[in-house]
Structure 1
């Protein structure tokens, strides 16, 4: 097994005190050690003499941060036609069309449900886009 010049194998989880970050050792780049955040991301250069193996607590914290970064809620795209539009809170017209849609769903009238979605999208484009 090949040992890297910094004394670490690729994949070793290290703590970089200069950036207060935990990353996986990738390789050397000139005088620097290349580290990549757990879970992927942009590599950064670290001083190989300053990095140290990450503690269990630091590894856990960095892993949780990586998972949270992948699961953060992204607001739905209003032009995404695969999802029904959400009514704008406090808008009576939006609420009326959403109620029409729910009534159509209740009786399995997909045509009326689609019509309500189209009307709601048109209303949102005209009234709620900045």
Structure 2
């Protein structure tokens, strides 16, 4: 988890949630919906359980998509939003992801790059 290295360097109260099915919670994700939309359903429930009022979600990579969706669904519950190198809204998983159970199968379904030749002008 990226945040374990970042949180100690920040001031104020900082909490990190591990998305279901990632990191040490991979076993918890088996057979569950791991889409960003489903993760965004879990985030506000976690915030409510902790009794936080208008926290500022900070999202990186897939967590950025989760933070965006959660902020759009409950804008009154967000004190702001910070995104770093984030995916766009609900762009994960991609339609090709189920075909990618092993790296060689994934690469076989990807389009091959075309060679680029300099123009002869």
* TM-score scaled by length of structure 2: 0.24
| TM-score (ref. length: structure 1) | 0.23
From the two aligned structures, give the one with the greater helix fraction: 2
